[in-house]
Chains A and B, each alone.
Chain A
Amino acid sequence: MILELSNPEPLDCAGVEVRFGSLKAVNGANLQVAAGEIVAILGRSGSGKTTLLRAIAGFERVAAGEIRIGGRVVESTSVSVPAHKRSVGLVFQDYALFPNRTVAANIAYGLPRGSAARVTELLRRGELEGLGGRYPHQLSGGQQQRVAVLRSLAPHPRILLLDEPFSNLDAALRLAMREELVTILRAEGMTAVLVTHDRTDAMAAADRIAVMDAGRVIETATPLNLYMRPSSKESATYAADAQFFPGVANGDTAETPLGTVRLSMPLRGGCEVLIRPEWIGVKGLGVPATVVRRRFEGAHARLVLSVPGIPEFVAVVPSWMAAEANDSFEIGVNVAVPAFATAG
């Protein structure tokens, strides 16, 4: 039996504002998601990401701006399509499975009567065959999450929203569920928005990442661009560990305390250069540095280095590399890096 494909639609949030009393939880957020695209909203707690998600789902009213699904306005100051008429699926952080219904009944909840075939197919898809008669509390965390996703997918929503989908899973399960979820979403061709505070989850699962800070979307980019060429110092810190070095840019290169580096975007004049710890190469690259401390982390090691004239900084190296405190290396940067013009 072939699973019917869903009917993905594009999503467009323009200038969305959500207030709680005098607090603006979402403060003019813009977000475009193409049909069939997976976008992750990445932000710290309190950045307004979950509130934006709930506004898209129809659980918060907007004080300004509008939300369109498939070109039709579903939420604005004058229009508010009720949540149950939006055809927007929402996977809750704690899954919100109905405790008094079996797994099969949970999945069938949003379907018309007589949809047993679809339920069976979804159970098979989620590798939950034989568990349809169980109750949610009899399932493992990973199984519960799969039921929550399948339940939301069952009625063919136009968009699927996921609120911190992996936060309740332990590290090992997390990786497997992430892969599984992306596979399911791709197979269904879903338009999906997932909210997360975990940069790795966002990078691994999404086509694009929207960085949210203080109620605004400050940058939307592919994971690779956000990592390699972030548009601002602020969003650079969201993608991975970031450290900035003072420099002087001359077009395609810049002079820094770590030597001459290639720039990923041309710039001239005084600047701050982003050099992530894993971009620093050690041994034979020209700039002498001393190891202050070494922190073993399993797959790699973190070296705290010192170079005269600048504060201590960090380089990440393979953990098999011999490096002890007080060793000296010649370090350098072998990657084209982004630089940001110094203000003023």
Chain B
Amino acid sequence: MNWAALRPARKAPAALWLPGLLAVALTFIPVFYLALRSTEDGWSPWSRAFHTSVPQLLQRSLWLAAVVALFCVAVAVPAAWLTTRADIPARRVWSVLLTVPLAIPSYITALAVVAFLGPKGMLQGWLEPLGVDRLPEVYGFWGAAFTLTCAGYPYVYLVVRAALASADTAEEEASRSLGVSPLRTFFAITLPGLVPALAAGILLSVLYTLSDFGAVSLLNYSTFTRDIFIEYQSSFDRTGAAVLGAILGLVTLLILTSELGVRSWLARGRKRRQAAVRLVPLGRWGVLALAFLSIAVSLALVLPVGVLIYWLINGLRANADFPALAPAVRHSVEMALAGAAITVALAFPVAILSARYGGLLARAAEQAAYVTHALPGLVVALALVFFGIRYATGLYQTVWMLLLAYVILFVPNALSALRGTLVRQPANLEDAAASLGKGPLMAIATVTAPLARPGLAAAFALVFLTIMKELPATLILSPPGYQTLPGLVWSRSTDALYAGAALPALALIAVAAIPVGLLAWKGDIGALES
């Protein structure tokens, strides 16, 4: 190890390294308490877990993750290519439509899938007069895979689209000028250039599937997250939940580290595109392309929203029992605003530390962010429950604990968005400020921060959105009686009260669609790329 490289070239001011230290310490909490709680009864619960549920859970979770990743890539790559390189009409509108499903959390998609395709669902209601009294089973593996693909493909789409949009087409033009056909050029130049983005997209969707809790639970497909939650709720001794949580955390970490290894092996100098792209004319294939995009948007956007509106209208007609919406909306929006503000405020100095100063602390903060990024929300929430019960009883079952969980969970998202902004900013502007007599903090206040404003806004919108949608930590750590939108949707949908669930679900989508719309329209959505 080259220790000289770990020493920052310049001394960072305390206003930067103190938040860095705090970020590392916060990450330490879930990792440490999970390790502690899962091993305090010795290794026998581990060995029991490995002899009973783990092999099957591992197989089921990984199989689901692999199939969802495959489906997501199969939808996202053609969609990304069509919306960046082909002459389809209203390209920007399609782009936004393909991105907007980000506002719909997986458990709401799952709710819509069940309400549409499930027993006593809409489709069966329509088909009953025709004598169809049974539909194929929606619960289980294929239902979960379908739901998670609909909810997850926008993430992969964004990563691939960003890569296609910023790729230097000069290489493709050079290939064409050497007499190589467009098709061979695509396979020889374009596709290999996309491999890093594909790897990143696959990782994103695998981690998304492994940490998803809502969809698999509603669709009764047993994975790590679902079993952890059942174990947590049903048994008095929570060691089993802690052990499974630790194992899931280790699995996600292992996947993340191996993927990072592959990615650095694949890494190549990426150039920004200089010239405008000539769009590929699709001719007669255009109809097929539009059909493909329409199906993708229908399944991810029209289906859930349509089903929810149907149930809402049905409920209004039938005078169904609707939950009081106002407190839940207020709580969710308040938490999302406060959580996003704290998260971005903590992540910004750490991002500056990492993008400008380097050094041991910056590295540690980056690594810590990677670790929490891989940990499923459910696992972090569990760890915070253990931490709260033992060491922070004053915090436990208060909104502060919930905020703490949001900050720990989403600092990595804010960090990677902000770091990208800072890296693209010319670093010598701060040197120029220093040579004109301004200290480091003045330089940040007068140069770095004003220029990073779009990035800060994007990071804020991103974290706001993610907190609005967050389910497991919200369920586990909300104080008793504290209503939130995800909580309302969850309690109604587990009781199959679809009409009652439709109202908070639509409210949640409406609020979450605001940041998604802003990000998608301004094109800052690339900040979501991890």
Chain A positions near chain B (C-beta within 8 angstroms): 19, 21, 57-61, 82-90, 92, 94, 96-100, 109-110, 151-152, 154-155, 157
Selecting from B123-131, B162-170, B415-423, B428-436, the interface stretch reads: B428-436
CA distance A21 to B447 in the complex (A): 30
- Which residues in A have their C-beta under 8 angstroms from that of B447? 98
CA distance A85 to B435 in the complex (A): 8
Kindly report which residue of chain B lies nearest to residue A83, judged by CB atoms: B434
Contact of A61 among B9, B428, B439 (CB under 8 A): B9
CA distance A58 to B438 in the complex (A): 13
**B89: CB under 8 A from chain A?**
no
B450, A151: Cβ atoms closer than 8 Å: no
**Contacts known (A21-B2, A21-B4, A100-B451); A94 close to B435, Cβ less than 8 A:** no
- Residue pairs across A and B with Cβ atoms less than 8 A apart, 29 shown, are A21-B4, A58-B434, A60-B9, A61-B10, A82-B434, A83-B431, A83-B434, A83-B435, A84-B433, A84-B434, A84-B435, A84-B438, A84-B440, A84-B443, A90-B432, A92-B428, A94-B426, A97-B432, A98-B447, A99-B451, A100-B450, A100-B451, A109-B436, A109-B438, A151-B432, A151-B436, A152-B435, A155-B437, A157-B435
CA distance A151 to B4 in the complex (A): 35
Kindly report which residue of chain A lies nearest to residue B4, judged by CB atoms: A21
A155, B4: Cβ atoms closer than 8 Å: no
**B183: CB under 8 A from chain A?**
no
Contact of A84 among B9, B426, B437, B451 (CB under 8 A): B437
Candidate in A83, A86, A97 with the most chain B CB atoms within 10 angstroms: A83
A109, B428: Cβ atoms closer than 8 Å: no
- Which residues in B have their C-beta under 8 angstroms from that of A89? 435-436
Give chain B nearest CB distance to A148 CB in angstroms. 8
CA distance A88 to B432 in the complex (A): 11
Give chain B nearest CB distance to A24 CB in angstroms. 13
Kindly report which residue of chain A lies nearest to residue B442, judged by CB atoms: A84
B426, A96: Cβ atoms closer than 8 Å: yes
Give chain B nearest CB distance to A216 CB in angstroms. 22
A96, B432: Cβ atoms closer than 8 Å: yes
- Which residues in A have their C-beta under 8 angstroms from that of B450? 100
- Which residues in A have their C-beta under 8 angstroms from that of B435? 57-58, 83-84, 86, 88-90, 152, 157
**B288: CB under 8 A from chain A?**
no
Give chain A nearest CB distance to B275 CB in angstroms. 20
CA distance A159 to B432 in the complex (A): 15
Give chain A nearest CB distance to B256 CB in angstroms. 28
A96, B4: Cβ atoms closer than 8 Å: no
Give chain A nearest CB distance to B25 CB in angstroms. 28
Give chain A nearest CB distance to B71 CB in angstroms. 43
User: Of residues 439 to 468 in B, which have CB atoms within 8 Å of A's CB atoms?
Assistant: 439-440, 442-443, 446-447, 450-451
| Extra pairs beyond A89-B435, A155-B436 (7, CB < 8 Å) | A19-B4, A21-B4, A60-B9, A61-B9, A82-B439, A84-B435, A100-B450
- Which residues in B have their C-beta under 8 angstroms from that of A21? 2, 4-5
- Which residues in A have their C-beta under 8 angstroms from that of B433? 84, 109
Kindly report which residue of chain A lies nearest to residue B451, judged by CB atoms: A100
Nearest 3 interchain pairs by C-beta: A110-B436, A83-B434, A90-B435
CA distance A289 to B455 in the complex (A): 69
Kindly report which residue of chain A lies nearest to residue B443, judged by CB atoms: A84
CA distance A87 to B438 in the complex (A): 10
CA distance A96 to B425 in the complex (A): 11
B4, A110: Cβ atoms closer than 8 Å: no
CA distance A266 to B207 in the complex (A): 79
Give chain B nearest CB distance to A238 CB in angstroms. 27
A94, B428: Cβ atoms closer than 8 Å: yes
CA distance A88 to B2 in the complex (A): 32
CA distance A82 to B443 in the complex (A): 13
- Which residues in A have their C-beta under 8 angstroms from that of B431? 57, 59, 83, 90, 92, 96
**Contacts known (A21-B2, A92-B428, A96-B428); A87 close to B437, Cβ less than 8 A:** yes
Kindly report which residue of chain B lies nearest to residue A93, judged by CB atoms: B428
Give chain A nearest CB distance to B441 CB in angstroms. 10
- Which residues in A have their C-beta under 8 angstroms from that of B438? 84, 109-110
- Which residues in B have their C-beta under 8 angstroms from that of A99? 451
Contact code string B283-308 (vs A, CB < 8 Å = 1, else 0):
00000000000000000000000000
CA distance A83 to B443 in the complex (A): 12
Give chain B nearest CB distance to A99 CB in angstroms. 7
CA distance A57 to B440 in the complex (A): 15
Give chain A nearest CB distance to B21 CB in angstroms. 22
CA distance A85 to B426 in the complex (A): 22
Kindly report which residue of chain A lies nearest to residue B431, judged by CB atoms: A59
- Which residues in A have their C-beta under 8 angstroms from that of B428? 92, 94, 96
Candidate in A58, A109, A157 with the most chain B CB atoms within 10 angstroms: A109
Candidate in B10, B435, B442, B451 with the most chain A CB atoms within 10 angstroms: B435
CA distance A94 to B435 in the complex (A): 15
CA distance A57 to B426 in the complex (A): 18
- Which residues in B have their C-beta under 8 angstroms from that of A87? 437
CA distance A287 to B432 in the complex (A): 58
Give chain B nearest CB distance to A168 CB in angstroms. 14
CA distance A40 to B436 in the complex (A): 22
CA distance A254 to B303 in the complex (A): 95
CA distance A90 to B426 in the complex (A): 16
Kindly report which residue of chain A lies nearest to residue B446, judged by CB atoms: A109
- Which residues in B have their C-beta under 8 angstroms from that of A60? 9
CA distance A61 to B451 in the complex (A): 28
- Which residues in A have their C-beta under 8 angstroms from that of B434? 58-59, 82-84
Contact of A92 among B2, B9, B432, B439 (CB under 8 A): B432
Contact code string B51-67 (vs A, CB < 8 Å = 1, else 0):
00000000000000000
User: Of residues 315 to 360 in B, which have CB atoms within 8 Å of A's CB atoms?
Assistant: none
- Which residues in B have their C-beta under 8 angstroms from that of A152? 435-436
CA distance A53 to B432 in the complex (A): 13
- Which residues in B have their C-beta under 8 angstroms from that of A90? 431-432, 435
A84, B432: Cβ atoms closer than 8 Å: no
B429, A84: Cβ atoms closer than 8 Å: no
B432, A98: Cβ atoms closer than 8 Å: yes
Kindly report which residue of chain A lies nearest to residue B5, judged by CB atoms: A21
Kindly report which residue of chain A lies nearest to residue B453, judged by CB atoms: A100
Give chain B nearest CB distance to A48 CB in angstroms. 16
CA distance A94 to B431 in the complex (A): 12
CA distance A21 to B429 in the complex (A): 25
Give chain A nearest CB distance to B124 CB in angstroms. 59
- Which residues in A have their C-beta under 8 angstroms from that of B442? 84
CA distance A58 to B431 in the complex (A): 9
- Which residues in B have their C-beta under 8 angstroms from that of A83? 431, 434-435
B429, A96: Cβ atoms closer than 8 Å: yes
- Which residues in A have their C-beta under 8 angstroms from that of B432? 90, 92, 96-98, 151
CA distance A22 to B530 in the complex (A): 33
- Which residues in B have their C-beta under 8 angstroms from that of A61? 9-10
Give chain A nearest CB distance to B186 CB in angstroms. 36
- Which residues in A have their C-beta under 8 angstroms from that of B439? 82, 84
CA distance A151 to B442 in the complex (A): 17
- Which residues in A have their C-beta under 8 angstroms from that of B10? 59, 61
Kindly report which residue of chain B lies nearest to residue A58, judged by CB atoms: B434
Candidate in B2, B437, B447 with the most chain A CB atoms within 10 angstroms: B437
CA distance A172 to B450 in the complex (A): 36
Kindly report which residue of chain B lies nearest to residue A110, judged by CB atoms: B436
- Which residues in B have their C-beta under 8 angstroms from that of A98? 429, 432, 447
